[in-house]
């Protein structure tokens, strides 16, 4: 996903988030396993569409190409604006609803790259959607690991 790279997010960064939260649930889980799961998630059309849309909105807000009052809402990542969570849910759901809990936890704890994106909100930069998209991908990749792992142990 070129778009993610251009916005400063490597798939390895997302895999590291997955590893941090899933390590305790899977014996011998490696960063490589997590990266493979992240790649499977971002290969899904539904995920790509949500991701492209969220990043396009961040970029439009950076360029000032969004009418008010939405521009101000996006630039300050207004706590009552929930469209970013709605888009993230479309990502999280590709491996079923069990990803939702992970999403909420990651979005709140801002682990790894998610926190970096959040704190990186310098003047002129907008990551209102990107941090939620990344949390959504990490949550979906975690759900995918859970589905695969439990299939094997039964």
Q: Which residues bind its own copies (CB under 8 A)?
A: 3, 45-46, 49-50, 52-53, 56-57, 59-60, 63, 65-67, 69-70, 73, 79-83, 85-87, 89-90, 93-94, 96-98, 100-109, 146-147, 150
The CA distance from 79 to 16, in Å, is 27
Most distant CA pair in the chain, distance: 54
Rank residues 28 and 65 by Cβ distance to its own copies and give the closer one: 65
Question: Of 8, 13, 74, 4, which Cα lies nearest the Cα of 42?
Answer: 4
Q: How far is the CB of 122 from its own copies (least distance, A)?
A: 21
Q: How far is the CB of 55 from its own copies (least distance, A)?
A: 8
In this structure, what token pair is assigned to residue 59? 């970029």
Q: How far is the CB of 5 from its own copies (least distance, A)?
A: 13
Whole-angstrom CA distances from 121 to 48, 132, 144 are 23, 14, 30
The CA distance from 58 to 128, in Å, is 6
Rank residues 12 and 101 by Cβ distance to its own copies and give the closer one: 101
Rank residues 19 and 87 by Cβ distance to its own copies and give the closer one: 87
Rank residues 9 and 12 by Cβ distance to its own copies and give the closer one: 9
Rank residues 5 and 96 by Cβ distance to its own copies and give the closer one: 96
- Count CB atoms within 10 A of the CB of residue 6: 10
Q: How far is the CB of 66 from its own copies (least distance, A)?
A: 5
Query: For tokens 């690991």, what's the residue?
Result: 145
């Amino acid at each position: 996903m070129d778009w993610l790279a251009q916005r400063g997010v490597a798939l390895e960064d997302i895999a590291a988030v997955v590893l941090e939260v899933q390590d305790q649930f899977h014996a011998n889980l490696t960063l490589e396993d997590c990266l493979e799961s992240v790649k499977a998630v971002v290969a899904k059309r539904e995920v790509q569409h949500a991701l492209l849309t969220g990043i396009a909105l961040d970029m439009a807000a950076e360029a000032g190409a969004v009418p008010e009052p939405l521009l101000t809402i996006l630039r300050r990542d207004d706590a009552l604006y929930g469209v970013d969570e709605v888009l993230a849910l479309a990502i999280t759901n590709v491996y079923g609803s069990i990803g939702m809990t992970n999403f909420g936890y990651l979005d709140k704890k801002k682990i790894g790259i998610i926190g970096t994106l959040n704190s990186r909100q310098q003047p002129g930069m907008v990551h209102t959607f990107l941090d939620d998209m990344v949390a959504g991908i990490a949550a979906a990749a975690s759900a995918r690991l859970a589905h695969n792992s439990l299939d094997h142990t039964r």
